[in-house]
Structure formats: structure tokens, C-alpha cells
Amino acid sequence: MTLLKRFISYYRYEIPLVVIDITAACGIAFLDLMFPVITRIMMKDLIPNSNLQGIFKYGLILFLMYLINLFLQYVVDYFGHVAGIRIETRMRSDLFSHLQTLDVEFFDNNRTGSLMSRVVNDLHEVSELAHHGPEDLLIAVLMLLGSTIYLFQINVPLTLMIVAFVPFMIFFAIKQRKVMGEAFLSVKEETAVINSDIENSIAGIRVAKSFANEEYEKDRFEGANTSFRKAREGAYHSMAIYYSGLNFMTNLLNGAVLIFGGYLCYLGKIDLADLTAYILFVSMFIQPIRKLTAFAQQFEQGMAGFRRFADLMSLKPKIVDKPNAVTLKDVQGSIVFDNVSFSYSGSDEVLKNVTLKVDAGQSIALVGSSGGGKTTLCHLLMRFYEIDSGSITIDGIDIRDIKLASLRETIGLVQQDVFLFAGTIKDNILYGRPNATDREIYQAAKNAEIHDFITTLPDGYNTYIGERGIKLSGGQKQRIAIARLFLKNPPILVLDEATSALDNITEYRIQNALKRLSKDRTVFIIAHRLSTVKDANQIVVLEEGEIVEKGTHAELLAKNNIYSKLYKSQYLSSDLAIS
């Protein structure tokens, strides 16, 4: 019931449209009930008595009723669907906004295609229920009550027989409804799986083609496709039982009315005109039952989607602002990691008792083998994940006491795997500060050594770069990401292999630009090429989540330990490559 109440609560935003829709639906139900009444009057009184004036009079009334019904049907179809799509849109907005609040860990554990299915496909069927559900239910109830009352007026014994038959139909519908609901929920889950596989395959199409693995992708997709087919077949099986069973009961009822009514007509308990009108009204009696059964199926489909919507909405982020969280002001950039340990869910510790102090305006390089915890350390600084123990402070304030928005506005991040949004170059640079002027955008691009390239393009800054910037080279994407960081202009920088995709000449230019940007700022530099971090104020070597060395470039070379060996091996490799 709580789930249903939550669903109904969305109607409060569209009360005027819902009232119009429901009023029109009531009008349709009333008119539908009047058609057999007029038919009975004409067949019982007017036609036998050759009352031509009365026949034409009621004929005109019928025509006017048809016109009114036409208008009311338009109102129901248009305003009802508008109300449904607005409710769907509000739900989708709520869900998307909620997804924005969830932790990075949630997205680590959930596939994009699956989430897309829950945001788009599931809510479409919720919209259909939101529109058709109330009106179908109301029309069915009104027609059922109205036709039952009128049938009792025509013939009581015949009506009692019909009413006695209804509980069997309701029992069958309720029993089968649960089975059908479970079947359609399974379809939702399989739809999410197949959407995930499609999204994953399309995103990785270049990798698949480079390995000539098209057949492998087809085979893998067929597995998900077959599961989806079986789920749909199961749902259709339960739906077929549901509809065929109810159709069989309806046919039995029609036959019983015809036989028992004929018998009553033989006994003189009912005349032929009343029996004809009665048979017409029986169809009016059965129609709402059909509507109710259709509503049951639509209800299960829609609520299956809404249940998945509610499940997502019920998830709470682990990382949230404290009630008394503060906003960072006049940030100097002094950062302290005090005995920090961290592990991803259910895994071994990635960082173990890391203690590190970074003075304001200092540049610190994090180096070491892949998987040593360098990127994780920076992600913890931005509270993408919550530390297991210890503390991280900025200017003496624990980051857990800082508002998340304020914390992340303070830190600028350029990752190794650059993500650009589908759109124009300008859109992507502007993401660093949405209210920036064109002049500021151009200056940021110049600082990132990408302005000259952009001006050579036919559409300049308005050039569409494709999904994830596919129309650009790796170096160009990297420089646009750096331009975005220039525009944001934060007091703390995290450069995660920020120049890894650049050629030597461009890298030299970018390094100079980054030096200008880094002036008087605290900078974390994650790098595998040690030649790019020689000038850092402090170099920290991380191995298996622990700090094994730290110092300046000269100090670490003098120790002749891990850093020295790494540096010399890279230097030697460079010499060999040149020779």
C-alpha cells in the first residue's frame, strides 16, 4: 500500500488535468449506459407502435450523444495522455536528480544500460498506467454499477444469475494477477540486462573491430537476447492464460443469458424487446469487467516499473553533508592526510595508514607502480569515497565537515581517461564554469594550447565533437579538458596523468601552461613518466597502498632506492629508444 500511495502522490501536481480527464471519463460512462436504454425504448415502445416522430426524435438524441461522446473521447485521449506524460516527466526528473546524489561507488557497481532502462523504459509504462489507470477503473466501476441496477429493473432472476457468476471471474483475475505481475517484473529486469549489453557493445565497437571479435559480440548478445525472449514468452504465457480464461468465462455468461433468457421468454416472464435490450446491456455489463481485467494487467506492468523506480529512489548516498557542514572560503590549500586507510567494498585495503602533509601552494607528485593507490588517494580528497579510518583536512578543516559542493568546487581534476560530453568544443570548455564569457573561454583555450587548433575548424568553438569527443585525437581531448580546468581556476589541482596523451612538443607547452596555472596553488600530480615531476616540491612513492619514499627529486635520487631505480630505468629506456 505504501508503494501505491507513493504512486498516487504524483497526481497532486496535475490535479486540473486529472479532474478534466476523470470528468470526461464519467461522461463517457454515462453516455455508454444511455445507448442501450434508448435502444430498449425504441424497440419496446416506438417501433412496435410505429411512432415515426419518436423514432426520429431519439435518433437525433443518439446523434447528439455520439457527437458529445466524440468530444469527450478526445478530451480523455489528449488531456489524459498529457497528464500521464507530465507525471512520467516529473518522475524521471526526480530519478535523474536522485542519481546525481548517489555515490561514485553506486555507479561503479551498476551498468549504464541498466540505469538507462530504469530511467526511460520503466517510466514509460508507469506513464501509461498513470493515464489509463484512473479513467479505466472509474469507467468500469460506473458502468458495472449502472448496468447492474438497470438489469435488475428489467429482470431480477436473470440479473441474479449474472451477479452470481461475477465472483468466479474476480477470483480467477486476482489469482492470475500475481503470476502475471512476477512475469512482467522479470521482463523489466531482462530488458535492463539487454540494454546494458547493447550500450556496452556499441561503446566498445572499435575495440571489438580491432580484435575482429564481431562474432564473439554477437554470441554474447544472443545469450542476453535469448534470456529476454524467454522472459517475454513467460509473461505472454501468463497473460494468455489470463485473457483466454476471462474470455471463456465471458462466453459462458453470454450463453447462459441467452439460454436462461429464452427460457424466461418461453415462460412469459420477459418479452422479446426486454430480452434484446437485456442482451445489449449484458455486453455493457461485460465491457467494464474486460476493462477491469485490462486494468489489472496494465497495473502490474506499470507498478513493476514503478517498483523499480521506487527501489532506486529509496537508495541513500553514504556520503552526505553534515547538518553543520561549512563552506570553504579563502582557501589556502594546506592539506593533511592523517593515518588514512581505505578499501573498496569487500576488497583488501588499497591505502594503509597513509600520513602525508602538503603545504599551501606546494606541488606534490605521486608516483609508483600501477595499482599503488595514487588515484584513489586523490579521489578520497574529493570524497568520491569515504575513508575507513584517519582523516583528511584542508586548511585544518576535516573534509567530512565541508559541504560537498564547496569541496569539489575547490578542487580541479584532469583525469588520464578524459571524458568529454557529446556537444560542441565550447560546451565542454564551458563546463568548467558555465557562466564564463566567450573571452574567458578563449583565454582558457589559449592557456591550454588548443585555441589555434580550434580556430582552424570550420565551425570553430561550435564544432560538434561527437560522443565522448570521438572526432578528436587523444591530445586534443586532453587539452580541452585542461582548458576546462583553466576556466574553473580552482585553488587545488589534481592532475592525473594530465599530459599522458600529448606529443613531446605539445607536452612541453602544456607543462609550461600548467606551471603558470599551478602558481600559488596546491597541486597533486599523478605521473608515470618521472621526467614530468622532477620540479615538484615533494615526490611521494606509493607501493601497494603505502608510502615507501618521499622527498625532492634530488633527495630521492641520492637515496638510490625505489624512485632512483624507476627514474634510471625510464632514462635508460629513453636513451635506447632514441638510439
The single-letter DSSP state of residue 567 is H
Q: Which three cell numbers stand for residue 441?
A: 573561454
When the pLDDT of each residue in the chain is averaged and rounded to a whole number, the result is 82
State pLDDT tens for residues 219-261. Answer: 777 877 787 788 888 888 887 887 788 778 878 887 888 888 8
- Long-range pairs for 499-505 at CB < 8 Å and ≥24 separation? 499/532, 500/416, 500/528, 500/529, 501/418, 501/474, 501/475, 501/477, 502/475, 502/478, 503/475
- What whole-number distance in Å separates Cα of residue 146 and Cα of residue 141? 8
What is the architecture of the domain spanning 335-578? 3-Layer(aba) Sandwich (3.40)
pTM, two decimal places: 0.72
Mean pLDDT of 61-78: 90
Phi and psi, residue 523, nearest 5° = -130, 130
- What whole-number distance in Å separates Cα of residue 86 and Cα of residue 270? 51
Mean pLDDT of 343-360: 86
What is the architecture of the domain spanning 2-313? Up-down Bundle (1.20)
- What whole-number distance in Å separates Cα of residue 548 and Cα of residue 562? 8
Do 524 and 490 touch, CB atoms closer than 8 A?
Answer: no
Domain ranges of the chain: 2-313, 335-578
Do 435 and 371 touch, CB atoms closer than 8 A?
Answer: no
**pLDDT band at residue 576 under the 50/70/90 scheme:** very low
- What whole-number distance in Å separates Cα of residue 357 and Cα of residue 420? 33
pLDDT at 206: 57
- What whole-number distance in Å separates Cα of residue 350 and Cα of residue 364? 20
pLDDT at 572: 56
pLDDT at 393: 94
More confident residue, 340 or 289: 340
